[in-house]
Structure formats: C-alpha cells, structure tokens
Structure 1
Amino acid sequence: MAIGIDQSGSIVSVERGATPGPELVRMSGPVVPALQNLHSHAFQRAMAGLAEIAGSTDDSFWTWRDTMYRLVGQMSPDDVEAVATKLYSELLKGGFGHVAEFHYFHHALAEAGRSDGFEMSSRILRSAETSGIGLTHLPVFYAHSGFGGQAPNDGQRPFLHDVDSFLALLDRLAPACASADARLGMAIHSLRAATPEEMRAVLSAEKTGGPIHIHVAEQEREVEDCLAWSGRRPVSYLLDEFAVDERWCLIHATHMTTEETVRLAKSGAVTGLCPATEANLGDGIYPATEFLAQGGRFGIGTDSHIATSVAEELRVLEYGQRLRDRRRNRLVSGAGASVGRTLIEASLSGGAQAAGLDVSGIRIGARADLVVLDGTNPFIATATDDQILDRWIFAVGSEAVRDVMVRGEFVVQEGRHRDEERIDRDFTLALKRILQ
C-alpha cells in the first residue's frame, strides 16, 4: 500500500497494491493508524507506582487522591513541563499520535489565587510541541469539593477558577492553541466540582467550538452522593439537565443502570474509557458490551498513566468484560470478527470525535498519524490481516511499535523518540526535585 502525504502532513492518497513512494521506504512493517488518547492528566505520570502502599483503612480512589494532592503541592511549572514531555514521548512509543489533555492543574501551589492559569497551559502546549504529539487542550473548570457547591479543600487550591476567570483563560488560550496547531476545547471536572448554575454559565459563554469533557459516575460513592444531593444518579442528572450531544465526552461513566447505558448510547456522546487506571483505582468495570450493543461510541485514554500504551488499555478493557461475564471475545462486531480490529476501529472513531478531529485513520483528508509495527518480530512477521492487530494487542504489546509518524513526520524510530536523551534527563531532574 502506498500512502501519499502532502506538506501539511495530511494524507492525500491511499493506493492498495501500489509500490510505496520514498516517504514510506523506511516503513519496515505493517502500518496501522495511531490512536487518539482521549483522557490525560499529564502531571500524574510523576506519581505512577507511588500509591501502592496500603493505608490503615480500605484504600480507594479517595485515598489515592490524597497522594495526588501531595504531589501537586511539590510541582512547579518547569516540573509539569518535564513530566508532560516525558509522558507524551511514552504515549507516542505506545502507539498514540494525539492526546486530549484534561488540564486542571492550573496554578503552582505558591501561585494559587494569583495566577490566571495561562502559564501552566503554555507548558502543556510546549510539551506537545517538543514531543511531536498532536494535542487537544481541555482546560478544566473546577470550583468545589462536593455536590451542592461545597467549599474546596486546601489540596484543591491549584485547580480552582470562578466562571469569569475560567472564561478569560479560554479566551487567552485560543490564539496560543491556534499558533501551536492544537485544538482547544474545554472540560468541567465533574458534577461535584461545579454547580449546575456555574456549568450553565460556562457552557453558554464558551466560544471554543471544540469538545466538552466531564468526569462522571467513576466511583460508587459519587453515585451515592449525587443521589443524596439531587435524587438522581450522575449520568441521568447530566442527560436530564444538559444538552449532551456529539461534542461531549463522558469520562469513565462506570456506574450506570441499563436505562442510563441506553440513553448515553443514543445521545451521540463518546464515553472515555481508561481501563488500566480504572483497574488500578478499583473503580469497577464499564458495561462496554451493553453500550456497544446499543450503538454507543467509546475511545480510550490513559488518565493517571500507570500504563502508556494502546495495547495495554485495549487488552485490559476486553479482559475486564471477560472476567465479569466469564466468557471470551466480548467486544466484537459479530460472529467471526476480530476482537483487535473491533477495538481499534471503535477507539479510533470515538477518540477522533472526542478530540475534535474531523477525519481519522488511513484515509484521504486525515492527518498522517501512523504506527509502523515491527516486521521483524516473529509474532507480527507471521501474522496476516486482522491477526496483526490481535497479535499486537494480545501477544506483543508496545514491543511491537517500531516507528511512529505524526503529521507526516517520524517522531519515533526503531523504538526511540527523536529527543529521548534530553527528555529523559529533564524528567529525571524533575522527579528528584518533586520527591525530595
């Protein structure tokens, strides 16, 4: 197959059976689309593996969150940039070509209450540029600690905005994102972090035109608290009170009734699934088989980044369904279908929608975001057609990713990022500062 790429990094031709031109001579294995990572908190990569010590009570998301707050208190803008750049290089090597950054770390602790949040966002834009990954930047509105407008706690101070300051940040970021070739959308952290009035004010005034993301129904306690506050479950409340449509991405949505699952699928919104993080936090198992059966759309993200690869996220997603149902091959489009192809195609479509990309995949008009799998790996070398995807996800993982192209340029070759040594050096120094 020959793929024509123009100077802007877009695909202009795809010819099957043709001889590859000079641009693809170096592609020494099967070529697959790079996926979109639709949910990232980049700074959390610094704490991966540091929350695995048992506490004195039953550990949960809520005890993990305390560790995260302590990490935030130690990080400067320089640290955030070093960590984000390292993360983005790892995501590229894991098979992602684009990331939607759910960015709520707006202020270093020393600047909380004084900064407008632009500096931290500019570090995310710079990290994406340095690493070469595509970016959808999603500044997050965050104002409260619990349902009903509860006052924020000290650990949340670096995240906070009021409506006016948040809208001013979006306005200031619009030209910065345009010059950085990044998409700009927005996010509301959760129903517990914003009142309905604040949500309506932000949604009616924001002018990004991009995606709208929100955490919802991640933990059972969140469902219980929402019921106590409103008499409704989180997903039902959101669908009842807001015009949820194709612009929206509901992150996690783990705990839904059958009725909520059907309603969400019919809304046209994407569900953002982060299987490795959800497993790490003990959140629960998403009803993916039921959601797909209703025509629902999903994509994958790496959230807290205890994993950074396409293969691991998709494998954990499928295995969770198998463990719950005690059956095999759950997320498939029909009898005889490949699980790997079903997962890749669904995640590519949903991820592109949630990232605000009009076209994705290996097709005319899409950006040339491509992954070259290692044609010398025995598992890949002896596979054909859909077996290649199944081997990648269920047998080899990130080891199979050889080269990665974003916007028509190679950013990873032979498993190494083009700026790996400097990125690793800066990351090591940042970790030393943070963990002192």
Structure 2
Amino acid sequence: MYRIAIEKLLKWKESKRRKPLIIEGARQVGKTWLMKEFGRQAYADTVYINFDSNSRMAELFASDLDTDRLIMGLELYAGRKIDHNNTLLIFDEVQEVPRALTALKYFYENAPQYHIVCAGSLLGIALHEGTSFPVGKVDFLKLYPLSFREFLMATDKERFTELLDKQDYQMIASFRQTYIDALKHYYFVGGMPEAVQSFAENKDFNEVRDIQKRILAAYEQDFSKHAPNEIVPKIRMLWNSIPSQLAKENKKFIYGLVREGARAKEYETAIMWLSDCGLVYKVSRVNAAGIPLKAYEDLKAFKLFVADVGLLGCMAGLRQRTLLDGNDLFVEFKGALTEQYVCQQLKTIEDLGVYYYTNDRGSCEVDFVVDTGELIIPVEVKAEVNLRAKSLKTYQEKFSPEVSVRTSMTDYKKEEWLINLPLYAIEQITSIKEER
C-alpha cells in the first residue's frame, strides 16, 4: 500500500539537519507499518524495538542516558551490530518508557549519525503532558488515515491520481463517474489502512464495517485504560455526540448536545485528550481574513470532526445500501459526511492552516478558510450539485480574496472570482495559486 509519507521519510533520511523523528497519529493509521516499510525500502538493516511491557528497555533507559551505553544495550537486545550508516532504529510505543523520549535529545546532540524513528498510539498525550524532552531536538511527522488520492492508488486507480495531479480537468470530466463512484466508496470505507486493504482485496462492505467497529471498540478501550478516570465519562459522551453535532445545519460544536446544561470548562480536558490522541480534528472559527489566519482565531467557537470519514459513517450507523441506491448517500447525512471528507483531505496537506469563518451576526458562514502561507482561500462545501453560494459571495464582497473555491459534485469550472473544484479533486487546492 503506497503512503505519501514514505516520500517525506526519504527526504528526512537524506537531510543534513536530520534529527530523531517522532511520528504522531491516531491508533491504527499505520505508523508501525510505515516505519517498517521505510526501513525495508531505504536501509540495509532495521532494528525494531517495541517498548510496550518491555521491562528490559525500561531498565536500559532508567539509568544514565549515555548514548554509547544505550547503543551497546540496544545491540545486545537486537543480537547484532548497529551500523549507523545502514541501520534504521525503530522505537515503537515509545511513550511507555518516557526516559527513551528524553534520550532523543542526547542522540541528537552526541550521536546524530544514528537514524532513529519513533511512534506510539498515545504519543501525543505523552508529549502534551510535558515528558521531558526538549523541543527543537526532534523532527515531527503527522500521519493521517489514507487520503482519497492514496485510496485511489490502493484500489488500482493510479492512472486516475496521475490525471488529478496533471489537473487535466477536461479529461477528468470524461471520467467523472469513475471518480464519483470511488468517492462514494471512500465515504463508506474511509482511510483506515486495515479497512482499505480489506476493501481493495475483497470489495466486501460488511467486512469493512466489522473492521471499523473493532477500531472504534479499541478507541473506547483506550479511553478507560489511558485517560484519567474522572474524565473518561466526559470523553465518551463527547465522542459519541460528534455525529449529531455534524448532522446539524450549523456544525459549530454545542456543549449542550453532549449533555443538557454542559459547560465548556467541564469538557475542555476531554477535547484536548481526544485531540492529542489524533482522534478528533478541532477546526476553529476565524472572524477576519488576514495572513496569518491564526491571528484571527476565535478559541471559543469551533467544529469537531473525527479522524476518518469511514469511522464517522460507522458511528452514525450509515448502511451500505445507501451506496447502491444512486445518490441516496448524499441525501442521508450528506452534509456531515461531505464536510468531514473535505476536512480530512485538507488536514493531510502539509503546512495548511484550516479554519472556518462566520461573521459576528452569524448570517454568513464559510465552511472552511485555509491559509497556504501566501493565500487565504475560502472554501464552500456542497454535497451534491446545488451551486448556490450566498455566504461565499458575501465573504468575497467583504474580503476580496484572490481565489474562492466552491467544491461539489460538478465539474471543474473557473468563473470570474470563483473556482468550482470537484470534491474528488479537493487535494489540488494548493495548486490553484499557480494558475492565477
């Protein structure tokens, strides 16, 4: 299965300023597979160490963090020599031995010749709790579920991704039905690697749902096992409220939908915990359109999306027959799925700030506003082919952005101030600036 992140890892390997690398991401997005596959492709040897319930590693890192001593201990554990030029060291579930995270500083300062990548399913939480390793001594890579582009490649449609990359929209329009069918499949299957692999091999939607249910059950177990006891019920209630939050016309997160009379401060820690795990994306409101957008962030108003569109459909009990009954999928729960899909694709684009806009009166809402570093692009999301974009027009008149995007099931079309970008091509949004 091809992952775009492999290209980033290859660049990291060749970088003269390489530091130990920490891969962050939700459980089961494929971090372990990615590290091992990278080792297989790019190194003569890989030493893989899982720190979960590993008392020997806990003891090795418990005393002083001298890098020569640590390397000798790792060699004894692996049963072979570690050649710094040709060996990739993988530390998996590294948050289980916090001293190993601290040791990364010393590897960077005293033994930068070693190639070390680390990951862990709840690593984001360990990092947030202030595990003592200094920022600036490690590199980070965020891994998400497979994007739609990666999904096309996993389901033997590489040529269709090439067409999207070339932005040959005339040719793309000729094959629109293929893209629309693949997009419907992606809405149901999502991007969790195990679900995608099962679908690619068997095309069995029931099997996909069973996998998604297992993944959701594992997340629920993580709540009880790893979160502080006092916030576990709050995490559960908040997590289970997300489908109904997104089903609303106005998708702004409302605490009252979690529990009647609920207040923000009761649930802040629960949101932070889910966010640090990579299980939710928090998209904040902005009230203006300058660069950088972060300067205009309103921390009190936000939308919450889950990590994956397939998991959202599973949580909402979306049935497979909706895929087969023409466009029913886009009628039932359509806005929620479509906005979740767009958010998920935008999140996979590196260095892209993702927000949404409403004016102070609430009479104008733009689904997403993205900051590329050079451009602020408002994005209106339409589930089908209904192309009224009143809010986008209001936003355009107020802020005069160079580019505005409406994404829907219609073909690509460039109008005076507006670009119609098909939903299945939303990952091309950052290339728009090249054609101004």
TM-score range, shorter chain: under 0.3
Q: What TM-score results when the alignment is normalised by the length of structure 1?
A: 0.26
Structure having greater relative contact order (Cα 8 Å, sep ≥ 6): 1
- Which is higher, the Rg of structure 1 or of structure 2? 2
Higher helix proportion (structure 1 or 2): 2
